[in-house]
């Protein structure tokens, strides 16, 4: 199974600033996803990170707020821009090793915005 | 798009009893139904999954059943142990890699 490293694991940020979360996978994967998990809530898909093209965003999420990079098949970044306290959440990177199969998750990045 | 509903939101059982969590989905194109367990402060991890060409799957104390006609699937845990205490998420996806999660069930197993 894929080994996924995410950093930072946690951060405390000031309102109005931006933070970039990195996701590194130990093998090449086609599909990488970014999820948000607000305290005590479920997993909500933010976007699919496509290698070589723009990310595909879900309803309610926009590129200006959550820009994503996917420079190669093992790495992706998610930036949370112009943060507000409502952005306080855990952000999880996930990968799919085979089409329509199991999702593997990183440990998550716990973001607190003051 | 797909909508997954999960019940109950919390479930408390005595050690040794069985626990059942139920989910329904809306998109008839969904064909993959995983269950994830998330312990406090940890990442979600797959515990069992089922595909639409199968009605039931079992792995030791854990089983999943699927009713495609009714669009619902269930997780069954038998002989529950305190270490089964966690939040469990069901999910559904189709071949477009669009996995949607249920709201989660917080299971507490009392010793």
Q: What is the DSSP letter of A55?
A: P
pLDDT of residue A33: 95
Distance to chain B for A32, nearest Cα, Å: 10
Q: What is the mean pLDDT of the segment spanning A38-65?
A: 92
Handedness of CA A75, A26, B101, A31 (dihedral sign): positive
pLDDT of residue A81: 98
Q: Does A98 touch chain B (CB under 8 A)?
A: no
Each residue's pLDDT, cut to its tens digit, for chain B (111 residues) gives: 789 999 999 999 999 999 999 999 999 989 999 999 999 999 999 999 999 888 999 999 999 999 999 999 999 999 999 999 999 999 998 866 678 999 999 999 999
Q: Does A96 touch chain B (CB under 8 A)?
A: yes
pLDDT exceeds cutoff 90 at A31: no
Q: Please report which residue ranges of chain A form alpha helices under DSSP H.
A: none
pLDDT exceeds cutoff 90 at A53: no
pLDDT per residue as tens digits for the range A94-110: 998 777 778 999 999 99
**Which of the two residues, A34 and A102, has the higher pLDDT score?**
A34
Q: Does B27 touch chain A (CB under 8 A)?
A: no
Distance CA B85, CA A45 (A): 25
pLDDT category of residue A50 using cuts at 50, 70 and 90: confident
| Closest listed residue to residue B51, CA positions, set B37, B34, B35, B36 | B34
pLDDT of residue A51: 84
pLDDT of residue B97: 66
Within 62-101 of B, beta carbons closer than 8 Å to A belong to 89, 91, 93-95, 97-101
Residue A40 token pair = 């005590």
pLDDT of residue A101: 77
Q: Which residue of B has its CA nearest to A5?
A: B43
Question: What SS3 state is found at B45?
Answer: strand
pLDDT of residue A106: 95
| Closest listed residue to residue A16, CA positions, set A88, A79, A81, A76 | A81
Q: Please report which residue ranges of chain B form alpha helices under DSSP H.
A: none
Interface test with B, best of A35, A42, A49 (most B CBs within 10 A): A42
What is the per-residue DSSP string for B51-67? Answer: ETT-SEEEETTEEEEEE
Other CB atoms closer than 10 Å to residue B59's CB: what's the count?
A: 10
Q: Which residue of A has its CA nearest to B90?
A: A42
């Amino acid at each position: 199974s894929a080994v996924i490293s995410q950093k930072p694991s946690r951060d405390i940020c000031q309102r109005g600033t931006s933070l970039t979360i990195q996701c590194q996978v130990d093998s090449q994967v086609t599909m990488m996803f970014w999820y948000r998990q607000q305290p005590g809530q479920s997993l909500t898909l933010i976007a699919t990170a496509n290698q070589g093209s723009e990310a595909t965003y879900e309803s309610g999420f926009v590129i200006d707020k959550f820009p994503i990079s996917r420079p190669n098949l093992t790495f992706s970044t998610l930036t949370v821009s112009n943060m507000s306290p409502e952005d306080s959440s855990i952000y999880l990177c996930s990968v799919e090793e085979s089409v329509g199969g199991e999702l593997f998750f990183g440990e998550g990045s716990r973001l607190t915005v003051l | 798009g797909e909508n997954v509903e999960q019940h109950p939101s919390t479930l408390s059982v005595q050690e040794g009893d069985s626990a059942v969590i139920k989910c329904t989905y809306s998109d008839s194109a969904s064909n993959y139904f995983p269950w994830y367990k998330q312990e406090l402060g940890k990442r979600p991890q797959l515990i069992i999954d089922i595909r639409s060409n199968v009605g039931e799957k079992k792995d030791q104390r854990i089983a999943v059943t699927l009713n495609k006609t009714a669009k619902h699937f269930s997780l069954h845990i038998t002989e529950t142990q305190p270490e089964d205490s966690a939040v469990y998420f069901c999910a559904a996806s189709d071949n477009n890699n669009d996995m949607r999660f249920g709201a989660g069930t917080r299971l507490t197993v009392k010793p």
